[in-house]
Structure 1
């Protein structure tokens, strides 16, 4: 019987190495290794033998626990007036949106006419995440008064992240988060406890730092909420992650996969079989850190590769920011293109047909495991310092993030290309970025801002 293996016999990694060394003609094999910003080292090639060194079953099981095929296309909508915002939401549903990230951070929550704002929307079918600034309980109370059914979506309020930027204490916002959680315990698919990596990402963090500091933030939040009387069995199903996804294609895929493993590892320390097997919920967002105001249409391409990393990495919801989000108000064109990126990845690339499509990749499985271990080590280091808030107050976290950011800047100065900024730049007017809020501790940065 014909066998394909007879044409292509197995080759060991040692044999591959000997062949590579011969082809290098005296150049050392180590010269092909590449360091990553995370302090890891990328080998010239990987084989099936590398998988044998990994806890592969654990890695892959973490990706599949509680997961379903596909992701939710969740465009961001900024609140203006109840009528205009409602029109935008209802129109978005007819254009391919599965849910919405509704930005209420500049709205007066107590003055909103919620019936008019949500007219025609049923939050048991269409998930909406309400992005607020320390007013979780107020939003939950308003929703419970007009929506007598189980809700989907959640409230995106990150008290710890906001305190890291502003220098204020998160206690008041955490009280609101605790009450919002109590009010919506009957809606298990409405997540009121949000922990995100964006504050670290936008300060220049490496993938290892994002993962570690996000876990540290989870512990700080859980400590506050359990002290408020909530149990871990109540908290875990109500918890979700918001993760910014950057332009380093394979690293970002591995970052999301690593987060699922780290979440499971963290939960084992709470000693509950119910908790241990609970899956994570990851709401991915394309990065503004890598967006530019020079040759801005290139941001469309950045958003596309970032979105691909997010969905291959296994995100549950995806928000693609419009290409002009960092320098202007998104318009009909930019919001349509952003929304359609997610649709293209489903309808034409069919990336929603496979669960954990990177499973078995020699490189990605290895990189995932390396990120898990490097992030866990940093997480433990911060916990030994008293947790994220104390490590930030002591200067450790800001110092580490500043080093990471400066390393990225130096890489550009030393030849790393920012397309449309340092090379392939169109001779056009450079648009002004929207001013960021003044931050006392962790800054909001963009990599290209020093080169525009």
Structure 2
């Protein structure tokens, strides 16, 4: 017979917790324990009563769970390209050492025969960042894929550029759209969604084209230092993108919403530069727990100026450690059901959506100045 160890313990009501806190405060109002961080508001404690209803389903199991774990994300190695041959050697080393994606940072359109030599692009994600010549780069990449006889559906990655947006002929190659840094989390997410609306509206005329764009956008969050808030930001963004798709009149599948998470550049002042390594790890954890699809850790080159390969290896191995030692790939959604995180997620969704409606009521992001946008956070 199963012995239920906790049957003898009564489940405390929220009023019991509140009364105990009031007693400990010795006359001070409990409201003094309420907090506010970056536009998000919280209480001193949460109970089951704070759970939103219904609870959102935010993740689905990886279809290759036996090979990659039930929870899989792309581990990107960032490589700056000055020489195609040297970049290729770095990429092959990274892919053979735990990376599952390469982000090439380019200044001009490369020779793909040299840059991608021996890289099996149907087994990994290959992405590009370039400021200019984006259209030429993608056309050259498409030509390379065709010339090599690679199945276009097996080519995965994204393009990051500030040039005019467009869709590649490669059906699983995405266009990267990133949030701007903002001290208010709700405003930051709302601006990202407003950018998406402006992009989609300017690029489409039919609902089929709208659906195609939503399935080809790689959303990016720049991960900050507030641990639980970053988890909720990732969860909220997934819900909000789904809501935005619904506002256009269609339902977007969970696996069609792709989120990347990028670390900082590690150039802020600090008393101990090795704290960057700890910060990068906790930032990656928050993104993964929040449900990201890709982790992009910038290499720690300035920490190891005489050995840049070490800075690259450490950045790459953070994901490996979180998989092989912390087993974050073994749990589908570790924050699901948390009274605090679920409640905060629902709050961010509500506030962000309200802010987005204000932006759209004023004609969209393209019609607002920076001061107009910042005023929405007040």
Match of 1:49 in 2: 49
Deviation at 1:328, TM superposition (A): 7.0
**Gap regions ≥5 residues in structure 2:** 64-69
The change in CA–CA distance for 1:217 and 1:294 in structure 2 (over 3 A counts) is: same
Aligned CA distance change for structure 1 residues 137 and 158 (closer, same or farther; 3 Å): closer
The unaligned stretches of length 5 or more in structure 1 are: 160-172, 404-452
- After superposing the two structures, state which structure 1 stretch, 20-29 or 95-104, moved more: 20-29
Aligned counterparts, 1:330-409, within 5 A? 331-392=308-369, 395-397=371-373
Matched with 1:23 is 24
Conserved? CA contact 2:62–2:71, under 8 Å: no
Question: 1:385-435: per-residue Cα shift (whole Å, max 9, x none)?
Answer: 211122136x3125668x8xxxxxxxxxxxxxxxxxxxxxxxxxxxxxxxx
Q: What's 2:130 paired with?
A: 132
Task: State the alpha-carbon separation in 2 of the partners of residues 237 and 209 from structure 1.
Answer: 24
* Counterpart-to-counterpart distance in 2, 1:309 and 1:55: 24
Alignment partners' CA distance in 2, 1:289 and 1:74? 17
Q: How is 1:415-434 mapped onto 2 (pairs within 5 angstroms)?
A: none
Q: Which residue of 2 aligns with 1:426?
A: none
- C-alpha separation between the residues in 1 aligned to 2:202 and 2:306? 37
**CA-CA distance at 1:361 after TM superposition:** 0.6
Q: Deviations over 1:158-184 (max 9, x none)?
A: 53xxxxxxxxxxxxx32xx32xx2522
Aligned partner of 1:80 among 79, 82, 96: 82
Distance in 2, matches of 1:45 and 1:326, equals 40
Q: Distance in 1 between matches of 2:188 and 2:16?
A: 38
Conserved in 2, the CA contact under 8 Å of 1:74 and 1:100?
A: yes
Give the aligned partner of residue 157 of structure 1. Answer: 160
Name the CA distance, whole Å, in 2 between partners of 1:263 and 1:289: 29
Is contact 2:81–2:104 with CA below 8 Å preserved after alignment? yes
Indicate the SS of the match to 1:373. Answer: helix
Structure 2: distance between partners of 1:284 and 1:316: 8
Give the C-alpha shift of residue 62 in structure 1.
3.2
Superposition pairs for residues 179-258 of structure 1, below 5 Å? 181-184=167-170, 187=171, 189-191=172-174, 193-197=175-179, 200-201=180-181, 204-227=182-205, 231-258=209-236
Give the TM-score normalised by the residue count of structure 1: 0.75
Q: What is the deviation of 1:6?
A: 2.9
The Cα of 1:337 is off from its aligned counterpart by: 0.9
The alpha-carbon deviation at position 229 of structure 1 amounts to 11
Helix, strand or coil at the partner of 2:312: helix
Is 1:303 the counterpart of 2:306? The answer is no
Structure 2 Cα separation of the partners of residues 229 and 329 of structure 1: 53
- Residue 325 of structure 1 and its aligned partner are, at CA, apart by 5.9
Shift in alpha-carbon separation, 1:232–1:330, aligned structure 2, 3 A: farther
Q: What SS does the aligned partner of 1:75 have?
A: strand
1:322 matched to which residue of 2?
Answer: 299
Give the SS at the match of 1:46.
coil
CA RMSD of aligned residues (A): 2.6
3-state SS, counterpart of residue 356 of structure 1:
coil
**2:66 maps to which residue?**
none
Per-residue CA shift, 1:37-96, capped at 9, x if unaligned?
21x321111111111xx1333x2x134498961211111111111101101101111111
**Distance (Å, rounded) in 2 between the aligned partners of 1:28 and 1:303:** 38
> Given the alignment of the two structures, is residue 91 of structure 1 paired with residue 112 of structure 2, yes or no?
no
